[in-house]
Amino acid sequence: MQNNSKIVFVSGANRGIGFEFVRQLIGKSHKVIAGYRDENRSQDLLEFGKKSENLFPFKVDVTSEKELSELKSFISSEFGKLDFLINNAGINENRSAKTVEMDLQDLTHIFNVNLGSAFLATKFLHSLLLKGENPKIINLSSHLASISLSNGYSVPYSISKVALNMLTKNQATEFQEDKISVCAISPGWVRTAMGGNSAPLSAEESVSKILETVENLSLSESGQFLDIDGNKIPY
């Protein structure tokens, strides 16, 4: 991203990596629309919103077309464009389940969140990205999405992130003419509620490196699967 102020939407922004994206983007003087679902689990974000004129917390379920339509209307009326979309919302449930132990409902639920939210948010906000300056879409993926590196861990989550990577690749191809860069980035193993306390990376370290990588991302690199340092991860 460039130094001039950008209009950014971050999904799943109430905690962990999402909240850190908000904190650091605000620190760079960007205007951030921060998506959250549950007020009771978003107090830090809402309190932060009271202190920053550049932060706009917005209650939205990014798997709901109705609520995404409302989000689109808000961004359109307030800013008229979107420069940067961070599809961060995700869950990792039933992480120890084997393929023969999962119900189809379990798999469908995690796909709806991890894949469906990025698919729908991009679909609804695409027209605003067309009006943005050097627009970019970042889909938060995972090393666990690499088929060639798979170790059979977190099966439902990893399968959903593989699908997210394929969505990224298709979006990148489709949006070349629109000059919208799209990439999937693994944040690494991060100390969050999802990553646990044993993870080697802090959210601050991960997000700082991701934003640096995104700043240097060109349209010619669209469709890649990257780590936080910008290195390619094998699909």
Question: Could you list the residue range(s) of the whole structural domain that residue 157 is in?
Answer: 7-226
Blockwise average pLDDT, block size 10, the chain, 235 residues: 80 96 97 97 96 97 98 98 98 88 91 98 98 98 93 89 98 98 94 80 95 93 96 94
Is residue 123 one of the residues assigned to a domain? yes
Q: Is 235 a catalytic residue?
A: no
Lookup: tokens for 158 = 């990893």
Q: Is residue 217 part of a domain?
A: yes
In a domain, 162, yes or no: yes
**Burial letters 188-225, b for 16+ CB under 10 A, else e:** bbbbbebbeeeeebebebbbebbbebbeebebebbbbb
**89 within domain boundaries:** yes
Q: Is residue 235 part of a domain?
A: no
The predicted pLDDT at position 97 comes to 87
The pLDDT of residue 95 is 82
Q: Could you give the number of structural domains in the chain?
A: 1
- The CATH code of the domain that includes 170 is 3.40.50.720
Per the residue annotation, which of 36, 153, 157, 235 is the catalytic one? Answer: 157
